[in-house]
Structure formats: structure tokens, C-alpha cells
Structure 1
Amino acid sequence: MSRPLVADIDLDALRHNYCHARAQAPGSHALAVIKADAYGHGSVACARALEALPAAERPPAFAVASLEEAETLREGGIRSPILLLEGIFEAAELEAVEALSLWMAVHSEWQLEALLAYRPARPIPVWLKVDSGMHRLGFPVEAVPQVWARLAAAPDQATGLHLMSHFATADAADPGECRRQLVRMQALAEALSAPLCLANSPATLAWPEAHGAWVRPGVMLYGSDPLEVPNSASRALQPVMTLRSRIIAMREISPGEAVGYGRRWVAARPSRIATVACGYGDGYDRHAVDGTPTLVAGQRVPLAGKVSMDMLTVDVTDVAEADIGSEVVLWGRAADGTVLFIDEVARHCDTISYTLLTGVLPRVPRRYHGGFD
């Protein structure tokens, strides 16, 4: 019998979330971001599921972080356009960009010079990355007109020019800095008559004025609410990954007895403690505090004690039916339909859903539901 821990991936929920993103920005194209192995969900399976949507609903393009991620998709049979969000990492990669028919971001002077010196058989679609305030990647706003002109003057190397930037605070309740970035980018796009891609997941859900020619939903595709203050649109997202396991041992302890490494959790009453097959060796966050919620038999029960490499322990004193073999949901949807949202678990770990989703390790099997053949 195999270890009971599994990551169930609901491809119907993925498609729902993508269609929901499109509905928030009906006048925009929606670029489906599936970098980091589709945020831990399996990039090829997720891309296939989205490509299986009706033609009018499927993504016009996918986005990844690197050439290696794009190669994985092409090897998996994905034929849709793929945008390299960080462009190339060395000039020699341009041959593969051309061979795989990829789109690429250009965010640095050296990338620009490499592209203009290259002689492709067909021009490469280019998305010009602008630093509108994040100060991470991109050309300064004031330098963009000249860079744009150089690209426009090189039709043998570059085609399909777009402007792209990234919000630093679109998820925050205070709109100040986000609005400043938006104003800068809209003015630049208007001056250049350029199609604009600005809205990430939070902006797709909460900033309709930022939608532009393209939006690029990322973490929202996987059912995580990216907003600091949820709204009706973000509440409609459905969890795609359910990390589920089972109870493998039970014990009863007396008041004053401790559980786990460092004796962090101490029983305040006669307690029933369940040991679950899941730990930080699987990607569950070791920083989870006592009281971090899980679902046992569809009921919320708290983590009790530090997470170990292969196991964690929960207090099931108030769940009479809990026993060896009972289902435990670490995040996602229980068999009875009860949902434990990953964002709540992340808050108890002092982190964000992105780190939990991308941190689920390869030894946890992915099991896909909602066929796409």
C-alpha cells in the first residue's frame, strides 16, 4: 500500500478560474501564466487542459519564466504561443527561441543588443518590459521611446511589439502606488500607440482600468485569492490543488503532556492526537504554528506541535469519528465539499500561497481530475 499523501489537481476548477479571469476583462486577451510548473500543479497537464477549452475561450498564449519551461511545454505537445517573461539569459538562447516559435520579453540593454544582432529566419514577437516602479526588471520609463523606436526599426528581428510592466502593490488595500504605476504606463502606451499588458492576478480581479490589451492571470488560475481585501470576484475562485492524506496513528494524552519536537504544544485537557502522513519533506511548511487549520472528516482541526519531515500531528479531540485511515485535507476541498483555502493556511505559516503551492515536492504524486482528452 502506498503512502496516502497526494496532491489532487482539479482541472475543471482550473478552467473555471481561467474563464473567470477572462470574464473580468472581456475586452482583453488573457495570457495564462504557468511558470514554476504551473505553480506546482504540472505545467503540461494544465496547459493541455486549458488548450482543450472551446476555441473562443482557450488562452491565446501561455507565459513561463525560462526557455527550459517552454521546452517542457513544447515536448508535451503544446503548440500555443509561449511568452518568456524574463526573456533570454544569454544570447545563444535566441536560436532556441526561434526554433520553438516563442515570444520573448526584452528588459535589458544587453538583450536588446543581442536581438538586434541576431538574424532570425522569421522575426521574433517582442514584449518590451518597462520598470514603472517595481525596480526589478525593465527599462526606465524615460528610455522606452528610444528602445521602442529601435525595435520598430528592425522588422527582420522584432515583430508584434507590446509594452509590459508589473504592479508592486495591486494586491494592497491602499491604491496609491498602483495608481501611480498605472498612470505612467497608460501615458507611455498612448504616446507609442502600443498594446499594453499590465494587470497581474490582483489587478485582473480589482483594477478594471488596468486591463489593457492583455491581462496575465497567474496565481488566481490555481484558486488562490491574491487580494489583501477579498472582493466578490476573488471569492468566486475555486481551489485547484487539494493536498490530502490520512491519519496513520492515534494516541490519547493527559493534560500537561507535550507533542512533537521541542515540546511546543502541551495538552490543556485530555486530548486525542492524530499523526498524519505529511511533513516538510513533502513541502508542507515547517513554520506552521499550533492552531494551523486542517480538515479531518470534513471538520476543522488544529495543528498540534511542530511539523516533522514526514509527519505532522493534529488535535482531533472534538472529532469523535476521527480514526486511523480518516481523510485529512491540508488545504483544498474535502470529500464532503468543505473547503480549506490555501490562503488561510499560508497566513498561519507567515507566508503566501505561492510558496506553499510551488513548494509541494516531487515525492508527492499529482493525481489529475477533470479529463481533457
Structure 2
Amino acid sequence: MSPRVVATVDLGAIRHNLHQIRARAPRAKVMAAVKADAYGHGAVPVARTLVEAGVDALAVACMEEALVLRRAHIGGQIALLEGILSPEEAAMAVYEQLDVVLHDHWQIDLLHALGPTAQVRVWFKLDTGMHRLGFPVEDVPRLQRALTEHPRWQFAGWITHLACADDPDDPFTPQQLARFSEALQGVPGPRSIANSAGLLGWPQTHVDWVRPGLALYGASPITTLPAERLGLKPAMAVASRLIAVRCFNAGETLGYGRHYTCPERMPVGVVAIGYADGLPRAVSSRAEVAIDGQRLPLAGRVSMDMITIDLRSMPNARVGSTVQIWGPGLPAEHLAEAANTIVYELFCGLTQRVQFQHRNG
């Protein structure tokens, strides 16, 4: 049986991107973000690849994601970026030897309730301006006291998260760095600041640990620094098939809402992909796909299962031809721009109907 839509993930590209990240921050340890199913690339195969490549730690959003990795026998440091949410998760974090990123005092209380013998590795997250999660920077002395009260806790370090690092000219990032530095002046412990945007655009954020996400998967969060200029290789390619080729006269319309009117007699292709596979409806008549490297514009609205494309520049296209949605020569950034979204959402938005293939493992 031939799949309708295939996402091919090149694990060799992820190893390459990790190498590029290490070259940019050679003195820093690397905590690789594999949350959200490794940004839609497949958490288990990606995590195995990164561990085999010598990454220092992995990061997930929540306990459910961490357990997927542990059940796949992936060892080493795994950090819970949102921390623990219940007494059960506190106990599980200790049992599974997970790093817990603490962002509020009630989470400290959850660990405290486990008793003085509980051994756990903790990070403290400081809010330097993202205003999402994190302790106020004024709480640093109180957090230091919590560590002295729990001598069996292993302290991993201090974390903050950047709000505007994807804009190299935004003055807010230096403000966040200053707040973080001032709050921790003279305070021991490793520091972690840089996400992918910080890693690529702000060398002063590299410090002791970097936490790349998107860059590992071969995309850049900074529009002025495209991935190819940074030496990154896209890890995912998505393709479907041409399932019909038809010809329509000038003035005839295509698809729901008669959204597209043929300007002349023209061949039209039907491709087996739609928003139920994760192709955003917002790209209707705005994006391009490719056959044999030839870019072809969408013509009409994206429907649940299909799109229609303008074949005037490739009138000899045949049913069964592979249609590239994104991949080499047609970066996901193009589709994201057409959808007025970001590549993160494209990667994470692919549905269970897409068949994944991992190669170069």
C-alpha cells in the first residue's frame, strides 16, 4: 500500500546540526529540546540519535513526554521544562531520575513533601521578562536557602528564557541578560539562557548550557539568518502524490467557494494532501509545491484531503508523480510565510495520517 503523504526525517541532518551548534558554542553543554514529539520529527528516534551523538541532556515539556523516552530505554539527563504538576509527578521524577525545572514555590513544596531522603536534580527558572513561567529575580536568596534545606537535592543550575531573541535588533534581549546577570551576581551554579534564537543571534547568551530546539531540525528562527547561511540542514521533507490531472476552460472555477478562476484553458493537478494532514488552510492560492524541482502554485482552497495546483508550467505532469510540499529546494519557511505562521507550527501540525520514515539512523 502506497502512503498518501510521507514525512521523511533525515537523522543524519540532525547529527550535522548538533555538530554545527557545538561549533557555535564550543564551551557550552547542549540540552536538546525534543518536546512536542521532537518538534514533530519523532521523539524516540530523534532522542536516540542525539544521545548516540553525545548530547549532554534532553529537554521535554512535561512528564508524559519524558515517560515516552524512558519507556524507550533512553537514559541520561532528561529535563522537565514545565516542572512537576502533582505529588505523583514529583515522585515519578525522582523514580525516573529526571531533572526538574522549578518555576514556582508550590513546586518546591511538592518535592519537599517527598521527605529528606528524596534525591532529585533541580533547576531554578527565573523570569527576566518573558512573563510566562519563572521565579521573580528577587527570589534568588530564598531559592538558595531552599537548597541548603534539602542537601540531597542536586542543583543543576539557573535557567531563563528569552522573549525576543529572534530579532537581533530588539533591545529587550540585552535587558533580560542584564537582569539575569544582576540577580545572580556572586551566586554559584551553572547558567542556561540560549534557545535556538539566542544561540544563533546572541553569542553572549551561550554561557554554561545552550538549549537548542528549532536549529536542531534545520530551521532558523531568525528571518535575517536563513538556515543555509548558518550551515544547518533541514531534517524533514514532506511529499504527496498527484492523483488526478484535468483541463479546464477559462472562467471555470476550482474547489470550495469557487475560490480560484481559471484565467485561460489550463491543466490542473489534484494532490492528495489537505488540512487533515497538517497543511494549513491559510496557504490557499498563496503557496507553491514542486514536482521534479519545478515549483507550481496552489490554485484554490486547501480542503480536508486535497489541494489543486496550476500545471501550466508543467503540462506533461502525470498521475502518480511525487509532489514535494516542503524539503530540499522548497524550504518549510516558504510555506510558513504563505500561511502567516512559523515553521514550528508546520512541524508540530502534521497529523497521524502522515506516514513517517526515518533514515540515516
User: Per the shorter chain, which TM-score range?
Assistant: over 0.9
Match of 1:101 in 2: 97
Match of 1:336 in 2: none
Q: What is the distance in 1 between the residues matched to 2:238 and 2:110?
A: 44
Deviation at 1:267, TM superposition (A): 1.6
Q: 1:121 to 1:234 in 2, by over 3 A?
A: farther
Deviation at 1:193, TM superposition (A): 2.4
Match of 2:207 in 1: 212
Match of 1:143 among 139, 145, 149: 139
One-letter code of the match for 2:32?
A: A
Q: What is the distance in 1 between the residues matched to 2:14 and 2:155?
A: 28
Verify: 1:262 aligned to 2:257, yes or no.
yes
- Measured on the aligned residues, the alpha-carbon RMSD in Å equals 1.5
SS at match of 1:128: strand
SS at match of 1:343: helix
Q: 1:275 to 1:66 in 2, by over 3 A?
A: same
Deviation at 1:174, TM superposition (A): 2.5
Match of 1:178 in 2: 173
Indicate if the aligned counterparts of 1:243 and 1:330 stay in contact, CA closer than 8 A.
yes
Indicate if the aligned counterparts of 1:91 and 1:111 stay in contact, CA closer than 8 A.
no
Tell me the TM-score normalized by structure 2: 0.96
Q: 1:86 to 1:120 in 2, by over 3 A?
A: farther
Task: List aligned pairs for 1:343-354, cutoff 5 A.
Answer: 343-354=333-344
Match of 1:359 in 2: 349
Q: What is the distance in 1 between the residues matched to 2:330 and 2:16?
A: 18
Superimposed CA distance per residue, residues 131-171 of structure 1 (whole angstroms, 9 cap, x where no aligned partner): 10010000111122222322243112x21231101100000
Deviation at 1:344, TM superposition (A): 1.4
Structure 2 unaligned runs (5+)?
A: none
Task: List aligned pairs for 1:47-62, cutoff 5 A.
Answer: 47-53=47-53, 58-62=54-58
Structure 1 unaligned runs (5+)?
A: 334-338
Superimposed CA distance per residue, residues 79-128 of structure 1 (whole angstroms, 9 cap, x where no aligned partner): 12100000001122111101111001000110012222322655211110
Q: What is the distance in 2 between the residues matched to 1:231 and 1:39?
A: 18
Match of 1:128 among 124, 127, 136: 124
Match of 2:278 in 1: 283
Match of 1:44 in 2: 44
What percent of counterpart residues are identical? 40
Task: List aligned pairs for 1:196-211, cutoff 5 A.
Answer: 196-211=191-206
Superimposed CA distance per residue, residues 253-295 of structure 1 (whole angstroms, 9 cap, x where no aligned partner): 1222111111111122222111111111111111113130211
Indicate if the aligned counterparts of 2:155 and 2:189 stay in contact, CA closer than 8 A.
no
Verify: 1:63 aligned to 2:59, yes or no.
yes
Q: What is the distance in 2 between the residues matched to 1:132 and 1:23?
A: 27
Match of 1:25 in 2: 25
Match of 1:13 in 2: 13
Q: 1:120 to 1:51 in 2, by over 3 A?
A: farther
Tell me the TM-score normalized by structure 1: 0.93
One-letter code of the match for 1:14?
A: I
Indicate if the aligned counterparts of 2:220 and 2:227 stay in contact, CA closer than 8 A.
no
Indicate if the aligned counterparts of 2:248 and 2:266 stay in contact, CA closer than 8 A.
yes
Indicate if the aligned counterparts of 1:173 and 1:228 stay in contact, CA closer than 8 A.
no
Q: What is the distance in 1 between the residues matched to 2:116 and 2:228?
A: 43
SS at match of 2:130: coil
Indicate if the aligned counterparts of 1:256 and 1:267 stay in contact, CA closer than 8 A.
yes
SS at match of 1:129: strand
Match of 1:310 in 2: 305
Q: 1:318 to 1:233 in 2, by over 3 A?
A: closer
Deviation at 1:365, TM superposition (A): 1.1
Deviation at 1:233, TM superposition (A): 7.5
Match of 1:90 in 2: 86
